Structure 1
Amino acid sequence: MSNTADTVWPEHALHIESMDLDAQGVAHRADGKVVFVDGALPFEVVSANIHRKKNNWEQGSLIEVFRESSQRVTPGCPHFGLHAGACGGCKMQHLDATAQVAIKQRAVEDNLWHLGKVKAETLLRPIQGPTWGYRYRARFSVRYVVKKGVVLIGFHERKSRYVADTQHCPILPAHVEALLMPLRDMIGRMQARDTCPQIELACGDNVTALVLRHLEPLSDADLTRLRDFAAQHGVQWWLQPKGPDTVRLLDDRQVEQLSYALPEFDVTMPFKPTDFTQVNPHINRVLVTRALRLLDVQPHERVIDWFCGLGNFTLPLATHAREVLGIEGSEALVARSRENLAYNQSLRSTPLAPTQFVARNLFEMTPELLTQDGVADKWLVDPPREGAFALAQTLATLKEQPELRQGWVPPKRIVYVSCNPATLARDAGLLVNVAGYRCTHAGAVNMFPHTAHVESMAVFELS
């Protein structure tokens, strides 16, 4: 059909204007009602099957495309789509990878303005990398389907609790994708095939670990199957009978540890397979480098790394600063970060700056708690999806009530790494509109290509 301006579209056609953070096309009816269309792309004209209606909005799925976007592409995975049984791991494979990044960049800008009333003075070039084979962390559901006599291993189906029949997954590293069918076969032969609901993947630079969640003790025969699989495919098996603290190596003789390197800083980060690490190591290396460049730490400065985790930013900071303090809510992660500090100190020819790690509930911050950590020239903040509201709110309180400072002064620069543009915008609103900072830079980080997940980075400078 012609794309000219005078084309007459069917009466029920929807003109897609944009894409939301759930990767749905957004249109408006003549009466102003918003329509969300799963599978539609910006600037397309489509028809949709409406399956949910509210007073001000409707939601549906794509039926037909009358005018196709120039950014629509053939998905790279055979399990992607809107059909029944389609894998729900990705939502944007039908959109050109460059256009995905542009939409995420726009989402960061829109959230900052609409939710926080903040506009960055400079937009950072989005951080992006490989769009396939990037996912070094994943949590696969496992289900033995009795009627079919098969084991399914993969992500859930779209909008469903069922496990997708996944035979390929090109967002995984090639050597992990090649394990999907052999894993299905091995689990299918296990006596405990009904009581192993999950396999967690953790890839380091040189080690691939698989954590098997099992609800009952494993027989000697099943343990032998796991050992044979590990020997054949070059993986480490870890067993998890209960919570994350019960995880242990199947074979203690496998001494090579999981780790990833940050070569620019001569830092290596060992980790356990259930520790939090970034899904995408390619992006993480660029992210750390850019964060430190934007923070511009000088040799005489003290820095605090809030929500420091394993020390992903802390140890690189310790190669630049006079002193570093890492603060994290999890006692287990603080213990691991201390181990990582000692490990790197033992390997380096030049020492790291004096570095301490402490555990603290960062969602219950007060002026008294904040000021007791002393004055820091700069902060790096990398919170979970909930954001750093208590931290930003406390900075705002100290701005409005200077008598609480007692000689304490706020950091002159903050680099905020976010995995949720909405909570970044909320916190940015407090920092800029109350606490006296300017948002000098902001930009998207495409940590999860082909998904609607948006990560970002923003820089705040004390006015």
Structure 2
Amino acid sequence: MKLQIEGAIYGGAGLAHQTDGESISVPFVLPGELVEVDIRHKRKNFEEASLLRVLKDSEDRVQPTCIHFGECGGCQYQHSQYPAQLKMKESILQETLEHAGLKTLPVIQSHTASPWAYRNRVRLRLEEVGSTLRAGYNRRGTNEFLAIQECPITAPLLWRAAQSLLQVAAENPASRRWLSNAVEIEFFTTGDEKKLQMTVLVRKDQPGLAALCERMRRFVPELVGAGSALLKRAGPQRQIQKPRPLENWGTRGLSYQVGNEDYWVSRGGFFQVNRFLIDELIRIVATNRQGLLAWDLYAGVGLFSRALTNGFQQVVAVEAAGADLINSFKGAGRRAVESTTVEFLRKAVVQRERPQLIVMDPPRAGVGAEVCSLLAKVLSPQIVYVSCDPVTLARDLKLLVDVGYRLDELHLVDLFPQTFHLETIVVLSR
């Protein structure tokens, strides 16, 4: 059937309607385009279609940069000029928040950097194709392996490291045998691409990682540390098994410099993925904020905590997996707490603590109803909420607005160009 694409929806697809009002989502289209589609799946409230051809192009349509676009599950927007990608994300953010009942919204302020080669981390599958070891991703919409030849959204060092690993496997039988038990490989680099960490996820423990790394350093001298982790399959979900440490080589993490600060990131630890926009995140969250006490909840390695010490007499950084944070966030006016946010807030409510500022950067699931309820009892005059999921963000913001907070600033930070993912920073006050 022929459809007119009306707009973009979260997840990367375009939205259209049949004459009977039924909603249809179509991938790889742009607002305003006339397309021909084939209905593939019928859901409860909408239908999913596959794109057959574009009958009338948008002026924003471009040739994708990556040869794997459309097959690979990683990117959704490479067929669009970058300014149009940003416009779609702004529209999606606005509509998602309004749909949750947030009618009075600040103007969205967008923040961007280079839309290519921005990722400081990549995780690839390893599979034998014929008799050759290949690296790749999942084919779009499946768990099927897709061998790739390039990934232009990653820092060049990451793909060079992946190619070097495959070259070592091809040239050295011992390395090839060792990698035959590898399932996935992850590389993480500093923003300037001067240092690299590698994690190999394997089916069984085995010696030989050090020899592999020494061979890789001939091609990738930036490699400073590596480790292996046991990966077992438990039904449809993969779980990393951590009953005992496997082999390590070199350093166990990286010192990642942002501005004048160095952050120790252990191998496998979370850090913001866009190497070009971390400074901007810190500026929006922490610059020109001051007071006696600030809390940084879901603090990670303390990305925002350190910046907050410039304006606050005391900063408390809270992180459930807080080993790195406790070791690095020390000194006068700094306190690191290894705790879940909800446990920390329960105690804080009893002790009647009241910071002037609360910063929250939760995982994709958001903070949830109980945390919002506890925040309503703490009554901090200002909250800065950093979110990577507009749906859970909208849910949480509605709960906070209902207990008396108002939305003062709304920032879209495009940490994930070429994909549907977006980062949002919201400043709330009472």
Q: How high is the TM-score relative to the length of structure 1?
A: 0.84
Q: Which has the higher contact order (CA 8 A, sep 6+)?
A: 1
Q: Structure 1 CA distance, aligned partners of 2:256 and 2:294?
A: 23
Q: Find the counterpart in structure 2 of residue 177 from structure 1.
A: 159
8 A contact 1:112–1:119 mirrored in 2: no
Deviation at 1:55, TM superposition (A): 5.2
Deviation at 1:28, TM superposition (A): 0.2
Match of 2:359 among 357, 380, 403: 380
Unaligned 5+ runs, structure 2: 231-239
Partner letter of residue 126 of structure 1?
S
Match of 1:282 among 273, 276, 280: 276
Q: Find the counterpart in structure 1 of residue 110 from structure 2.
A: 126
Q: Find the counterpart in structure 1 of residue 289 from structure 2.
A: 297
Q: Find the counterpart in structure 1 of residue 75 from structure 2.
A: 90
8 A contact 1:118–1:429 mirrored in 2: no
Q: Structure 2 CA distance, aligned partners of 1:177 and 1:157?
A: 18
Q: Structure 1 CA distance, aligned partners of 2:247 and 2:308?
A: 32
Q: List aligned pairs for 1:37-436, cutoff 5 A.
A: 37-54=26-43, 56-81=45-70, 86-120=71-105, 122-145=106-129, 148-188=130-170, 189=173, 190-205=176-191, 206-220=194-208, 223-234=210-221, 235-242=223-230, 243=240, 250-252=248-250, 258-263=254-259, 266-293=260-287, 296-298=288-290, 300-330=291-321, 334-342=322-330, 353-363=332-342, 369-372=348-351, 374-389=353-368, 390-396=370-376, 398=377, 410-433=379-402, 435-436=403-404
Q: Structure 2 CA distance, aligned partners of 1:419 and 1:129?
A: 17
8 A contact 1:212–1:237 mirrored in 2: no
Deviation at 1:248, TM superposition (A): 6.7
Which has the higher mean CA deviation after the structures are superposed, 416-425 or 366-375?
366-375
Q: Find the counterpart in structure 1 of residue 236 from structure 2.
A: none
Residues 303, 422 of structure 1: CA spacing in aligned structure 2 closer, same or farther, 3 A cutoff?
A: same
Q: Structure 1 CA distance, aligned partners of 2:158 and 2:183?
A: 19
Query: Aligned pair count?
Result: 412
3-state DSSP of counterpart to 2:218: helix
Partner letter of residue 80 of structure 1?
F
Residues 210-254 of structure 1: per-residue CA shift (max 9 Å, x gap) = 11112233354x6423311123311134122334765677434x6
8 A contact 2:164–2:219 mirrored in 1: no
3-state DSSP of counterpart to 2:146: coil
Give aligned-pair identity as a percent: 26
Q: Structure 2 CA distance, aligned partners of 1:319 and 1:371?
A: 28
Residues 428, 284 of structure 1: CA spacing in aligned structure 2 closer, same or farther, 3 A cutoff?
A: same
Residues 149-200 of structure 1: per-residue CA shift (max 9 Å, x gap) = 1222122111121221111111111222233333223345411333100111
Q: Structure 2 CA distance, aligned partners of 1:248 and 1:309?
A: 24
Structure number having the greater strand percentage: 2
Residues 255-288 of structure 1: per-residue CA shift (max 9 Å, x gap) = 9x5122221xx31101112110011121111111
Q: How high is the TM-score relative to the length of structure 2?
A: 0.90
Q: Find the counterpart in structure 2 of residue 350 from structure 1.
A: none
